Amino acid sequence: MGEKVRLRSSDGLLFEVDPDVAHLSPIIVQIQDMDDSDEEVPLPMVRASVLSHIVDLCKSYVRKGYWDKAMLLPIGHDHEQLENLTWAANYLCLEELMAIVLGSLAHLVREQGPEETCVSLAAMRKALLLQSIRLPNETLRSLLCALAFHAVRGDIDSLAALRPYVDHSSLLVCIAAIRGVGRLAPVDDALSMARLQRQLRNQNTEVALAAFAALTTVAARGNKEVISIVSEKSVHADAATRCAAMEASARVAVHGDAHVLANLKRGMDDPHGSVRKAAVESFVQLVTQSDPLAALEVIRCLEDMDDSVRQAAIRSVGVVMEGNNDMAYGALTQKLEHRYWWVSWAAAKALAEVAPKDEPIVIDAIVPRLAHESPTVRQVALQTLTDVASKGNIRIMESLKEYLLHRNAGVRRTAMKTLAKFGKGERTAIRIASKLLDHPKERVRKSAGEALKLVDTNENEYVRREICERLKHARLETRLAALSVVSQIGDRNEPWVVEAICLSLLDKDGEVQEAAVTAFDKLVDRGHSHAIFSLLGLLDTSQQQCLQAMLFALPKVAGSGDKSLHLVSTLLEQQSIIVRSNLFDMHMQMSCRSYRHCDYAPCNCWDGATVGSTASAPKKLDDAQKFRQGVQAATWALTLCLLQPGANLADAVKTALERVGACGEQVAADLKACMTHHRWFIEWPKIEFLCTAALAEKGAPVCSTTTAKAERRLRTDKECTGASHPALHRPNCPCVAESKQPSKRARLGGA
């Protein structure tokens, strides 16, 4: 076989191969012919790892007579090794081996995908230019797409590799090549445009459309020849061609080209939705911003039945509307009232796209739609306001006043929803909703409760203050409406709710009182301490009506439990004797028909500090502790009568005295004897005096009786002359000079 041929790789390794293996490479033969010596053959372009693989492939070829593709399988997914093998085979002029390796690279591109492949541009160009490779059309298409994707516009080498395939017989390959040329060709490249124009006449519509799109991409903006072609295509019988022409207009025409804009306006009325959509999108790209009518043309497309056209119009409105275009805003808001819901919704979305936040012009145009007779229009208007205005917008809240009073219940509900959207927790909204409570119409007052509930927040004291102010209103209807709102928005046992209901329980009108009782049962626990404190804190003894309301409400608020009895008794002890006296007197008037009411003299003879200081009282009554216990016992008896309206006064006093370890038999007997008369009267300080006396060692003093006639003859101070009832003084009062003989009508008191 002769002497071995020695090959030196670029990294210095020496390979000795048989001459028939080495001579497969014409370049090695040429080097040996140039140098007759037996020295080694240098291969500066081939590394040792690649040369080793080449030698193995050549040995296999010598043995088998063909290139064994199976030997490439181990590196079939390694694009770097395949590329190194490609360039080594190219250097050694092993064209058949190079074609096989490039074919493997092309298949790798197809497997990885055009966009994800890592094969180099040079390798892809080599695979496309090498005529000896026979690749499947699908693989060839992937290779063309990958080259077009990774190369950049103006890459002449890549363009040269793509251009021959524009006339390929395969539809897939042809279209891929056309699109690649359109992507890579320089602007107005004559050779590329000539090839693409030739394909415009292709009988296959898909190929012709691809060539048309590529041509308009390569052509410079304003190219008259191409614009003329686009104009012809815009009236083509095929809808896809017209659509492509509309899209191409935006690429080749100059801004403001009247002829092209006229074609696009005609395209907006095309029978096919895809053409109309493309016309709208191209129109906004070419129209000048100074054209006020352009926005109206686009707004007109919001009425299109095709959703894709409406969406394109929505996106385009913001492009053509610049500044305060009142005409365009008016047209958009007018569309909110359109009879078809899809048009009104499209107009709402367009307004949201173009209107500046809180723009007064837009708000003033939308708010009246909240009162539209159509529920759909009202809903659209509300949604639009939500998009174009921010929370707390006072202009919107103030504009809602008239719609909250609207005769249409649907309009009122929409206005309330809007108020809640923009005014939740805001003072302006709360004030507006509270004003509804003052309205003379019942339906408006009812809506006030719902409105306040919507704008209220749990931590907003302003709402509570507004409602409580209405509970003191002069008009009955307003107070009832405010109390109804308390029931709607209040939480159980919430302090402000308790205080508001207690205020209504003492209202001068019985209807309010009954409503307050219902609200109390719903929202407050009976016997709640805060309710008892609040109710007694509102007591005004100067008003008879307030006393009557208190006696009506107290048992309903406090109940009759021991805890409530103790709390009420303690609170009454802390009040003045006048408060207890007035409560007792009003209670007896309301519970006993034979009880006769008399006023106290304005002198201080009944002052608690002087009780027990008379000569008729036992000396042991000087004990302050006994005095306090007597007052406590009397107050406890009074509390029992107040909380249990059916309780007997004498029995209550007896029970109270027995609770503190005293005997109440004598006091109870005296009281019962007095109460058996068909007309009787007793002062509350006398009850406290008797209870205090009963706690002394010798028991209570015996009480004598006086006549009512003698009482009428009692002389009083000039200050007493204005009283509406006879004035009574305590026994031995210095104001009374004398007492007369007993009367037929007994009266309990001291002589």
pLDDT in tens, 225-271: 999 999 999 999 999 999 999 999 999 999 888 999 999 999 999 99
Nearest CA to 352 among 309, 308, 382?
382
- The one-letter code for the residue type at 237 is A
Q: What's the token pair of residue 10?
A: 């670029």
Q: What pLDDT does residue 724 have?
A: 41
Q: What pLDDT does residue 172 have?
A: 92
3-state secondary structure (DSSP) of residue 743: coil
Q: CA 585 to CA 547: how far, in whole Å? A: 10
- The one-letter code for the residue type at 115 is E
Q: What pLDDT does residue 230 have?
A: 92
Read off the DSSP letter of residue 750.
Answer: -
E strand map for 280-341: none
CB-neighbour burial class of residue 721 (10 A; exposed 0-12, middle 13-18, buried 19+):
exposed
Q: What pLDDT does residue 137 have?
A: 93
Other CB atoms closer than 10 Å to residue 290's CB: what's the count? 8
- The one-letter code for the residue type at 622 is D
Say if strands 705-707 and 727-728 run parallel, antiparallel, or are unpaired. unpaired
In contact, 123 and 160? CB cutoff 8 Å? no
Q: CA 404 to CA 81: how far, in whole Å? A: 79
Q: CA 432 to CA 452: how far, in whole Å? A: 9
Q: What pLDDT does residue 519 have?
A: 92
What's the first-to-final CA gap in the chain, in angstroms?
A: 164
Residue ranges of the chain with pLDDT lower than 50? 600-601, 606-621, 698-728, 737-751
Q: What pLDDT does residue 323 have?
A: 59
In Å, what is the CA distance from 355 to each residue of 319, 331, 351, 366, 441?
Answer: 12, 13, 5, 12, 38
Q: What's the token pair of residue 112?
A: 């990885």
- The one-letter code for the residue type at 696 is A
Read off the DSSP letter of residue 680.
Answer: B
In contact, 335 and 346? CB cutoff 8 Å? yes
Nearest CA to 714 among 706, 724, 722, 702?
706
Q: CA 406 to CA 414: how far, in whole Å? A: 11
Q: What pLDDT does residue 604 have?
A: 55
Question: What's the predicted TM-score (pTM) here?
Answer: 0.60
Q: CA 487 to CA 534: how far, in whole Å? A: 18
- The one-letter code for the residue type at 140 is L
- Centroid of chain to Cα 158: 55
Q: What pLDDT does residue 293 have?
A: 82
Which residue is listed with tokens 């296999």? Answer: 60
Other CB atoms closer than 10 Å to residue 593's CB: what's the count? 8
Q: What pLDDT does residue 2 have?
A: 60
Q: What pLDDT does residue 455 have?
A: 87
Q: CA 526 to CA 520: how far, in whole Å? A: 8
